[in-house]
Structures are given as structure tokens and as C-alpha cells.
Amino acid sequence: MNKKLQELRRNLTAKLKEARELIDAGKVEEGQAATKEAQEIKDKIVLEEQMQELEETVSDGNEVVEVEETRAKKKPVETRTALVKYLQGKHLTKEERDVLVETTTPGDDQNSVAVIIPQDIYTEINELKRQYKPLKQFVDVQTTSTTSGSFVYENGDTIEPFVDITEATEIGEMLSPTLKQQKFAITDKGGILPISNTLLSDEKGGLVKYINKWIARKSVITDNRKILAVLKANGIKISASTHAEIKSAINTKLDPELLNGAIIITNQNGFDIMDNWVDATGKPILQPNPQDPTKKMLSGINIEVYANTNIKDENGASPVYIGNLEEAVKFMDREEMALAVSKEAGFTKNLTLIRAIQRDDVVTKDVNSYLNIKLTAPKEKPVVYVKNVTETTPTQTPTTPTTPTTPENTPSTPENDNGEQGTE
């Protein structure tokens, strides 16, 4: 896309916004005039695109080539190639422009043009995100094509059963009074990736792979932070330091019907406290996960451990979240990422700045579906009672019978004059 087309599209976006504001304000005549100007800009865009297509039919020798013949020789456009050419600022053919869907993103002064990441590359990014421990996999994810709206949900402990329906049943009698409405608003979130023009110019140098990895890690960190903010603000809040306290809370405060989908989220410090718990015989409380020996479980619930830098302690206590997070958090996903490029911003450093944008929102659902625990180490270590299972039996040593000594059976020895015993 050339600069002229980019400028025309920016102008069209701005003019449409102006027309909408005028119409909403009741200024009909001004709104009609702005709408007419927007239509004129759109006509210019169509004309400019037609000119580009015609110019592409001219060879290097300025000889006109039959359009249909040229199209027949063209190979199917690869989205990866088209995206790289866009990032490099190269001229795109009509077919390449068709595979890159344009969008607008908030800029400093006005909306700027960007392209939506093609689906095959978006899939690669999602595959890469799995290695960075996304919390998104544990919550309720819903895709949406709108920028705002609402959804209805019902807390697990207040769900009403179906009612009997007869011909005289009013619809109002069937509506549950416990339904709740939650609003959402999709927002743009982005980051800047400086890329050397040397790497950018090398189409086979792993440019797309490099960008994908950066986006994947950045996206997971962003998603995790938003989900943790919702978890921190809600839930059944308690303080605990022992296994008995947490076990009691799980047994009495969480809905047993939701425990099948429960998960435990904590940081390294929280896991270290739990990993040092032992029972009365000295055996560890935590048990290995039979499906994944690298992980451990508490009361049959899998534990997911995150770095202390990602889930931070507060006032000496480690956060621990236990429950069915699909009932607790709603992730509204636009399933859309966009890329915008600026060469001017990094001109003095021979860099091109790539801005990645993702669109989503994270909101709360059932605040009573999980425990929000502040875990501290026990002040005293539990006493381990070891049962003595070894019994000792006194042993008797057999003795040899001896003959008692008497004067009758004892031989006498004569004595000499000096009182010393002698021999006969």
C-alpha cells in the first residue's frame, strides 16, 4: 500500500467519525455534508486502487501486458510473503493487499493504518503461547465480533431448576430471578518491537518467527496480568498457614459440584510452603500428579506454580487461588491481532518500529466460585509422632549345672610349719 492510499484511508476514518458525531448530536445538515465528503474520499480510494492495478500490468520495459494473461500466470499469494512485504514497506500487488485485512489503531494524533495478522500466522502465535504458562487456558474464553456488550450468567449456588410448563404458564414465571448481567468493553493493548533494518530486509532470516515469539510472550504476560487482577479483587478471601485450614475451606466454602474443574494457582513461595507440609507420620501432604509427575496435587487438585515475579507476595503472604476459574473469570476475545509499522520513528538508529495490538477484555463472573487465600508459613513446625513398632524380648543365656562344693568332697592339702600349702 502506497503512502497516498494510507493517507486517504486515514482521512476516511476521521471523516466518518466526524459525520457520526454530528448526526448523534442532532446536526443533520452538517452530518449530511460530512457523509458526502466521506463518500468522495472513498471514491478516490477506489480510483487509486484501480490505478495501482493498471500500473502493475506494465512490465519493466513499459510494454503493456494483457491483464488476464498476467493473472493466469500469477501463483497463489502466500500470506507470510505478503506480511513480510508490508513490514518491509514494499509495494503490494492487489492480490497481496486482498489477503491483508486493514484496520485502524489509535495513534498519537489520529488513527493509523495497520493490518490484521493472517489466520495461519495467528495460529502459530497461539501455539507458541502455550509454552509460557497462559492463565487464559483455565478461564472461560468467549470470542466476540463486537467492541462492547454484555452477557448473562448465574451463580452456581443460586441456579433455579426448570419449572413445569402448561398452556397457561407465563414467560415471566420461567425467568430466573438470580440471573446477573456483566458488561464488557474490548480495548486495544499494544507494544513496540524495534527491529534492525538488516533483519527486516532479510526475508529468509526468520523475521516472522522472531516477531511471532515476541508477540506470544508479550501477549501471555498481558493476559496473565489482567486475569490475576480480577482474581485478586474477588473470591472468598481467607488467611491460612496450615493444610488443615485450607482443606476445611475447600470442604465448606466451595461448591462440590464445581471441584471437578478446580485448579490451584500460586507462586513459588506459596508452593514452597505447601510442599513442606507433612502429616503426623512425616509423609508429605502434597502428592505427585499421576498424569504429570513434574506437578503436584493437594486434595486431588492440580497445582500450577508461577514465578514470584509474576505473582508477587504481599505483606509476607503468598497468594493462592483455589477453585473452578471457568466460573470465576470471563475472557472476551476479539481473536484479532494487528501490526503497524513506522520507519520514521527509528530513522536515526537504522531501526523499524513494529507495533503489535491485541483486542480483548477480562471481567469477573461468579465471585464465590474460588478461594482467595493469603498463605503464610506456619509459626511452628508440626510435631511428627513416629510409632515405635519394634519390641524387644529379654534373652536367657543357658547355664551349665555345677556341683555344690562341700567339705566331704573337697580334697585336703597338708600344710607345713610355715602355714604354706605343700605337696605330698
Of 74, 103, 130, the residue at which a domain comes to its end is 74
259 vs 302: CA distance, rounded Å: 11
- Judge whether 256 lies within some domain: yes
241 vs 58: CA distance, rounded Å: 77
Query: For residue 382, which phi and psi values (nearest 5 degrees)?
Result: -65, 145
351 vs 391: CA distance, rounded Å: 80
Quick one: pLDDT band at residue 59, thresholds 50, 70, 90? very low
Most confident of 39-53, 121-135, 220-234, 403-417: 220-234
360 vs 370: CA distance, rounded Å: 23
Q: How far is CA 100 from CA 92, 211, 306, 367, in A?
A: 10, 17, 37, 41
406 vs 354: CA distance, rounded Å: 118
Of 19, 50, 74, the residue at which a domain comes to its end is 74
Of 74, 98, 131, the residue at which a domain comes to its end is 74
The per-residue b/e assignment along 279-292, b for 16 or more CB within 10 angstroms, e otherwise, is eeeeeebbeeeeee
SS3 308: coil
Would you state the cell numbers that stand for residue 382, as one nine-digit string? 508440626
Q: Please answer whether residues 89 and 343 qualify as being in contact, where contact means their C-beta atoms are separated by less than 8 angstroms.
A: yes
pTM: 0.70
- Judge whether 41 lies within some domain: yes
DSSP, residue by residue, 43-56: HHHHHHHHHHHHHT
Element (H, E) at 374: strand 370-375
- Judge whether 195 lies within some domain: no
- Judge whether 389 lies within some domain: no
How long, in residues, is the chain? 424
380 vs 47: CA distance, rounded Å: 80
Non-local (6+) Cβ contacts of 222 within 8 A are 189, 358
Give the tens place of pLDDT for each residue, 263-312.
999 999 999 999 999 999 999 999 999 999 889 999 999 999 999 999 99
DSSP 8-class letter at 242: S
DSSP, residue by residue, 157-196: GGPPPP----TT--HHHHS-TT-EEEEEE-EEEEEEEEEE
Calculate mean pLDDT across residues 136-142.
95
218 vs 224: CA distance, rounded Å: 10
SS3 146: coil
158 vs 108: CA distance, rounded Å: 47
Place of cell 507470510: 80
The more confidently predicted of residues 313 and 100 is: 313
113 vs 342: CA distance, rounded Å: 11
Give the tens place of pLDDT for each residue, 379-413.
876 555 555 555 555 555 555 555 555 555 555 55
The per-residue b/e assignment along 86-119, b for 16 or more CB within 10 angstroms, e otherwise, is bbbeeebeeebbebbeebbbeeeeebbbbbbbbe
For residue 325, count other CB atoms closer than 10 A to its CB.
24
Residue 79 has a pLDDT of 83
Calculate mean pLDDT across residues 150-174.
65
Quick one: pLDDT band at residue 198, thresholds 50, 70, 90? confident
- Judge whether 217 lies within some domain: no
Q: Please answer whether residues 386 and 281 qualify as being in contact, where contact means their C-beta atoms are separated by less than 8 angstroms.
A: yes
100 vs 307: CA distance, rounded Å: 38
Residue 110 has a pLDDT of 43
CA dihedral 407, 409, 415, 421 (to 10 degrees): -110
- Judge whether 290 lies within some domain: yes
Mean pLDDT estimate for the chain: 80
Q: How far is CA 76 from CA 66, 84, 99, in A?
A: 19, 16, 10
Largest CA distance in the chain: 162
- Lowest mean pLDDT segment, chosen from 138-147, 176-185, 358-367: 176-185
- Judge whether 59 lies within some domain: yes
The more confidently predicted of residues 391 and 139 is: 139
Q: Please answer whether residues 18 and 111 qualify as being in contact, where contact means their C-beta atoms are separated by less than 8 angstroms.
A: no
- Judge whether 259 lies within some domain: yes
Quick one: pLDDT band at residue 164, thresholds 50, 70, 90? low
Per the structure, how many domains does the chain have? 2
Three-state helix/strand/coil letters over 387-402: CCCCCCCCCCCCCCCC
Domain limits for position 6: 1-74
